[in-house]
Every structure is written in C-alpha cells, then in structure tokens.
A and B are shown apart, each in its own frame.
Chain A
Amino acid sequence: ETGVTQSPTHLIKTRGQQVTLRCSSQSGHNTVSWYQQALGQGPQFIFQYYREEENGRGNFPPRFSGLQFPNYSSELNVNALELDDSALYLCASSSRGNTEAFFGQGTRLTVV
C-alpha cells in the first residue's frame, strides 16, 4: 500500500456536469500529479502541483483545473464534462528531488 488515497473510487456523471476528485498524498510528499488513463491506454499527464501552485501542465483544456491544499492533498475539477472524459483518473505523489512517484488506486469516472 502506497499511502496515496483517492476518492471516490467510482462515479457516474452526466454530460455537461462538473466533477471534483480528491487525493491525499503520502506523508512527507509535497508534490501531486494527476493523470488521465483512458481504457486500454497509458496514463496521460494532466498537471502537477507543488506547494499549492501549478507546476507543469499537459495538453488538457482549461476546464480541467486543480488545487493543492496546505496539507498537500489535492483536488482535480473538471467542468462541462464530455463523454470522452470517461477514464481512470490517477493521482501520484512524490517529494521534490526524488524520482519515485507513488500512485493511488484511481477514480473511475463514467460520463453518460
């Protein structure tokens, strides 16, 4: 067990709705990254947060946004959901200067 926890584990949303996914990072880790994994594909980097600021972003539109809190936990928000947003969303935590990231179990989002 890595110590990275995500909630909820599964959820179903309707197209056009908004969703918030949550991640608690492993103790001592100050960096959180979010990835989207479509079915049968490798994870795609969405963005990363370090000390409550966005520190790198992948090729995702602005309707994907995030937050990091003082305790280093994080949220991923997606507005105006589209069917193609259906995927497994993975959170990974790491500490600055360390090459190893620890992944949570993911949140399976289904948009109908």
Chain B
Amino acid sequence: GNSVTQMEGPVTLSEEAFLTINCTYTATGYPSLFWYVQYPGEGLQLLLKATKADDKGSNKGFEATYRKETTSFHLEKGSVQVSDSAVYFCARLLGAGSYQLTFGKGTKLSVIP
C-alpha cells in the first residue's frame, strides 16, 4: 500500500545536540516527499521538500535527502535549539492530479536547555 512510517517519539535532546528522525515510505512510482512541523496549538508548516530521487531539501538548518534505494527521507539537524521543540511529520504526495498527502504519525521533539 501507500504509507509513511516515521520513528516513534517522543525524542528529548539537549540544546546543540544532533537530530535524526527516520522516515520511510512505500509507494508506487516516485512520490514527492515532505517534512512538516507543527508547533503547539498551531497548524502545519512546510519545513522542506524533495520532489525526485537524490534531491536534498533544506531549511532552517534541517536537511533531508530523498533516497530511492532505501525509500527513506530522514530528517537531520546538526545542532538543535529549544525553539525547534515541536511535532515533526513526514509526508508523501499521492500522484499527480490529486493533492493527497499521506502523513506519518508524527514525532514529538523536545529540546532542553
């Protein structure tokens, strides 16, 4: 089927630690992949995206590389800040013509000073 699996949280890190949140997907073809972030009490914000294999999306120090061979799109950041505390969602776009995103369950990140 078409699904997105991301590592379960919560994840707690100290400020300036390295972050990895794993995400794998199943799909026919080559979907576009996204990471969204949700701050407490808010909607979703697009963090970064990649539309084809080997693309690297990056924004605000976060990066993710579209790995076709491992069907993965892991999110990384070299040095997290307290302000990065949020819930992160990996998502894939289901085909052309229908903007239907399939989301993972989300990973809650807490960064402590």
Contact = CB atoms under 8 A, between A and B. Distances in A.
Interface of A: 2, 31, 33, 35, 40-45, 48, 55-56, 58, 90, 92, 94, 99-106
Interface string B4-36: 100000000000000000000000000010001
A35 B36 CA distance: 14
Contacts of B102: 45
Contacts of B100: 33, 45, 48, 56, 58
B53 to A, nearest CB: 15
Nearest to A93: B99
Nearest to B91: A42
Top 5 nearest A-B pairs (CB, nearest first) are: A42-B103, A56-B98, A103-B44, A103-B43, A105-B43
A79 B60 CA distance: 42
15 contacts: A2-B43, A42-B91, A42-B106, A48-B99, A48-B100, A90-B44, A92-B99, A94-B99, A99-B49, A100-B46, A100-B49, A103-B43, A103-B44, A103-B45, A105-B42
Contacts of B105: 40-42
B32 A99 contact: yes
A31 B98 CA distance: 9
Q: How large is the interface on B (under 10, 10 to 19, 20 to 34, 35 or more residues)?
A: 20 to 34
A56 B98 CA distance: 6
Contacts of A55: 97-98
Interface in B21-73: 32, 36, 42-46, 49, 51
B93 interface: yes
A41 to B, nearest CB: 6
Contacts of A44: 103
A41 B106 contact: yes
Interface string B75-93: 0000000000000010101
